[in-house]
Amino acid sequence: MLKLEELAGSVSEGCVHVVRLRLQEFVQRGQALLDAPEAEEALHDARVAIRRVRVWLKLAEEAVAVSQRDRHALRGFARESSPLRDMEVQLAWLGGLSLNEDEALGREALLSLLQTAFERRREQVLETLPEALHGAQHALKSLRPQDTVEEPLGAWLAEHWMDVAAFMVEDVPHLPENLHAVRLVGKQLRYLLEPMVDVLGAEDVMRVLRRGQDALGRVNDVQVLRKALPVHVGLLIGQQVEADVRLALEMELAPTWTMPAVWTGLRAVSAHLLEEESEALAELHGWRLAHADALVAGLQRIGVQLAGSGFDGFGNVFDD
């Protein structure tokens, strides 16, 4: 997306270039979701596109002119669509469980409850989408550089990159206690790096970031479901049960009740949830042990490359 000569050029012009491409991507993905809201992956694609836009809008706040009204419209869709993604993951996970016939009733009750809440939430999200699309289209028309940053784009990006990378370097050894913070930083680094992967020869770092995001996301999904499951059970059976289910899961035990009949399936879901959490944490631990050192080295290498902007991704001097 960015070329090496652009890293030596104007901050504002380079940021306008990337922000324009990101806004265009969201308009395309958002319109596809609006046209076919039930299409597979449409919501996911629109959510990824809006995250990419917002990361670069925040980074380029002083370099690119985008009105607060347009930013607010984009933020509204991003904020509303995030919980919907969690519910979508929960539905997929529950639907994919292999359960015995006598356990199906509890799972189906949960699926019905979640599906109803999901559809209601989807309607709310789709209501925010036209405003977000209008904001993106208006931002594209009015997009212009602000000459408030004089240093070269590469050096400017290097400073921001290393500020964010420092958090990742510090936090990765302490996973999973700081899971949420590392997930946020990992997303920022990935979306910052995407426009520069080719020019910096940084596909190796991108692969590590993607694998890390997958592992982090799996643990996060399980933890979200773990918090939500007692609430769902409480809605199905009675709120007095909610605290008992939460306590059992905190003790890493599946509740043992057998009545009413629906509980057999709910207990099975709880047991599978605990197994999923163990597997997800093991995967995250494996990623950290296998790739943390390479990730740190790669993050630092990119910072040096950006600061110099006279070297390509393979250490070769760039010839003007």
pLDDT at residue 316, rounded to an integer: 47
pLDDT at residue 260, rounded to an integer: 64
For residues 207 and 241, membership in a common domain is answered with yes
Query: How many domains, in total, are found in the chain?
Result: 2
For residues 138 and 156, membership in a common domain is answered with no
Q: Which one of 144, 159, 187 terminates a domain? A: 144
pLDDT tens readout for residues 56-103: 999 999 899 999 999 999 999 999 888 888 888 889 998 998 888 878
pLDDT at residue 18, rounded to an integer: 96
For residues 156 and 126, membership in a common domain is answered with no
In a domain, 195, yes or no: yes
- Cα→Cα distances 125→43, 49, 66, 88, Å: 10, 15, 23, 13
For residues 294 and 155, membership in a common domain is answered with yes
In a domain, 137, yes or no: yes
Q: Which residues of the chain have pLDDT under 70?
A: 239-240, 254-262, 309-320
In a domain, 33, yes or no: yes
pLDDT at residue 309, rounded to an integer: 60
pLDDT at residue 265, rounded to an integer: 78
In a domain, 100, yes or no: no
Q: Which one of 95, 129, 144 terminates a domain? A: 144
In a domain, 46, yes or no: yes
Residue-range definition of the domain harbouring residue 204: 151-308
Residue 44 is part of a domain; what is its CATH number? 1.20.120
Torsion sign across C-alpha atoms 130, 133, 135, 137: negative
For residues 171 and 206, membership in a common domain is answered with yes
Residue 154 contacts residue 307 (beta carbons within 8 Å): yes
In a domain, 316, yes or no: no
For residues 140 and 222, membership in a common domain is answered with no
For residues 288 and 190, membership in a common domain is answered with yes
Q: Tokens representing 181?
A: 């913070």
For residues 139 and 177, membership in a common domain is answered with no
For residues 218 and 266, membership in a common domain is answered with yes
For residues 165 and 270, membership in a common domain is answered with yes
For residues 134 and 204, membership in a common domain is answered with no
pLDDT at residue 312, rounded to an integer: 46
In a domain, 105, yes or no: no
For residues 130 and 203, membership in a common domain is answered with no
pLDDT at residue 22, rounded to an integer: 97
In a domain, 92, yes or no: no
pLDDT at residue 314, rounded to an integer: 42
